[in-house]
Chain A
């Protein structure tokens, strides 16, 4: 698995995708948090990072599918998937290697946002007046959200050998998983809470309060795991 991970991650670095993803993410976030008056922390007056954590999922809905769309679609189109599958690698090696490479790239893109946190700690009045627990919880939530989005993207990439199809499907399903269930819950009457809990938003908000609940962790890990299992099944379907 580590070999596939390394190859994929180096591939991102070679092909400018990594720099674009990191650059676009940080530019968008920087503008939203510090520059645009509508959302700027400086104008808002409260020492928190809510702007980052409310906007990042929407940016990820587009960026993560862009990272993952080529993972299987391109390999299938170029025929290199045959090369990979005839090497002594299990299907899990390939699926997990690609998943973790995409996830690692998102983590790298997120790392510089720690600067925002330290800036706000310094800017607070009195200095250090920030709900650190909520920030940590939100970061954990954002990582889980990114993991689910990566898994969605890797999965949709196996469904087609056209990268644009893979991208569109991934963006759509990511959006649906994030806010779709929340919106649907208003139709569900007494079952509203149950429907809400299927979506990422419910768990993301819960983590964002600074309370790291095992239910949210289990939800995130099992959703990502299930999607990766689907990926493996689709990849293995050549043997049927």
Chain B
């Protein structure tokens, strides 16, 4: 049991930022913390790193209570805060050495680890530059390097790829994947592809509550029965005829595209083809809309907003 959160709540004045959430993360797992802005992701992470105290509930990391033994916890976690704050006037080398020394690494270890991190994070060319002169992607690597320098067992990354260009995102993801094999990783994001690319498990948080906590593949297949077929007809769509097909739940017109919701995709698709040949009306396009994580995210965070 690497990281356990039990009945955790956080109140800021009147606002309940995190509302009684519980989950646990095992070693070797990469968990994606997903949610709209202001859902409570960062607050939860700040509490897990002992930066903020919980209003109620507890967090234990490797059996250590974060509130009671903050020093021991800080030593075993690596944390990349949101917006990746860095000492801009420091040199890359100097900064990593400072962080290493704070974690109590000896001089020899410091030199070795700093060298390894610079290589691992692809900072070899930039290592003698000031952080302020680096581009955002390289700064993000410096942020990751400082979070990893003491080889932490638990890695907490708050939006590690925000504000990067697509190439940089791919590189940072590769890096996270590479380093995370033996570690417990929690990363927050609101980019769906990121979760699909990196995580084994997803926790969706909305308005301070957990609205989904499942393996990624379960979440993706969970609502598979319901499928949307998007059909483009040559000429006006025969709406009444489609509605009378057995198994069709809903038919909507989206401009000239006809969206058909059904749970019995195979039968309905066959029926639509038959309908098209019977009426001698051609189908210009026909596709099955995949149930993407984005849809799941939207349905989870919008429906629960209405409640």
Name A residues whose Cβ lies closer than 8 Å to a Cβ of B. 3-4, 6-7, 10-11, 14-15, 78-80, 82-83, 85-90, 238-240
Point out the residue from A3, A88, A90, A240 that lies within 8 Å of B98, measured CB to CB.
Answer: A3
Chain B contact residues, majority secondary structure: loop
Known: A4-B102, A83-B81, A86-B74. 18 other contacts (CB 8 A): A6-B98, A10-B90, A10-B94, A11-B87, A11-B90, A14-B90, A79-B81, A79-B85, A80-B86, A82-B51, A85-B51, A86-B51, A87-B102, A88-B102, A89-B102, A238-B52, A239-B52, A239-B53
Contact check, A86 vs B50: say whether CB atoms are below 8 A apart.
yes
Contact check, A88 vs B94: say whether CB atoms are below 8 A apart.
no
Please, which residues of chain B bring their CB within 8 A of the CB of A239?
52-53
Point out the residue from B49, B81, B85, B101 that lies within 8 Å of A3, measured CB to CB.
Answer: B101
Q: Once bound together, how far apart are the Cα atoms of A11 and B86, in whole Å? A: 13
Please, which residues of chain B bring their CB within 8 A of the CB of A7?
87, 90, 98
Proximity bits, B104-132, A CB within 8 Å = 1, else 0:
10000000000000000000000000000
Closest-by-CB residue of B relative to A11 is: B89
Proximity bits, B28-63, A CB within 8 Å = 1, else 0:
000000000000000000100111110000000000
Q: What is the minimal beta-carbon distance from A165 to any residue of chain B, in angstroms?
A: 21
Q: What is the minimal beta-carbon distance from B245 to any residue of chain A, in angstroms?
A: 57
Point out the residue from A3, A14, A15, A88 that lies within 8 Å of B71, measured CB to CB.
Answer: A88
Contact check, B89 vs A80: say whether CB atoms are below 8 A apart.
no
Q: Once bound together, how far apart are the Cα atoms of A238 and B50, in whole Å? A: 11
B256 within 8 A of A: no
Contact check, A87 vs B99: say whether CB atoms are below 8 A apart.
yes
Contact check, B83 vs A88: say whether CB atoms are below 8 A apart.
no
B297 within 8 A of A: no
Please, which residues of chain A bring their CB within 8 A of the CB of B74?
86-88
Q: Once bound together, how far apart are the Cα atoms of A239 and B52, in whole Å? A: 6
Please, which residues of chain A bring their CB within 8 A of the CB of B146?
83
Contact check, B85 vs A80: say whether CB atoms are below 8 A apart.
yes
Closest-by-CB residue of B relative to A80 is: B85
Please, which residues of chain A bring their CB within 8 A of the CB of B101?
3
Q: Once bound together, how far apart are the Cα atoms of A87 and B71, in whole Å? A: 8
Closest-by-CB residue of B relative to A81 is: B85
Instruction: Given A83-B81, A239-B53, verify A3-B89 contact (CB < 8 Å).
Output: no
Q: Once bound together, how far apart are the Cα atoms of A3 and B81, in whole Å? A: 21
Please, which residues of chain B bring their CB within 8 A of the CB of A90?
71
Nearest first, the 3 closest Cβ-Cβ pairs linking A and B are A79-B85, A88-B74, A80-B85
Closest-by-CB residue of A relative to B52 is: A238
Please, which residues of chain A bring their CB within 8 A of the CB of B71?
88, 90
Please, which residues of chain A bring their CB within 8 A of the CB of B77?
86
Please, which residues of chain B bring their CB within 8 A of the CB of A79?
81-83, 85
Please, which residues of chain B bring their CB within 8 A of the CB of A6?
98
Please, which residues of chain B bring their CB within 8 A of the CB of A240?
53
Contact check, A238 vs B51: say whether CB atoms are below 8 A apart.
yes
Please, which residues of chain B bring their CB within 8 A of the CB of A11?
87, 89-90
B75 within 8 A of A: yes
Closest-by-CB residue of B relative to A77 is: B85
Please, which residues of chain B bring their CB within 8 A of the CB of A4?
102
Contact check, A15 vs B89: say whether CB atoms are below 8 A apart.
yes
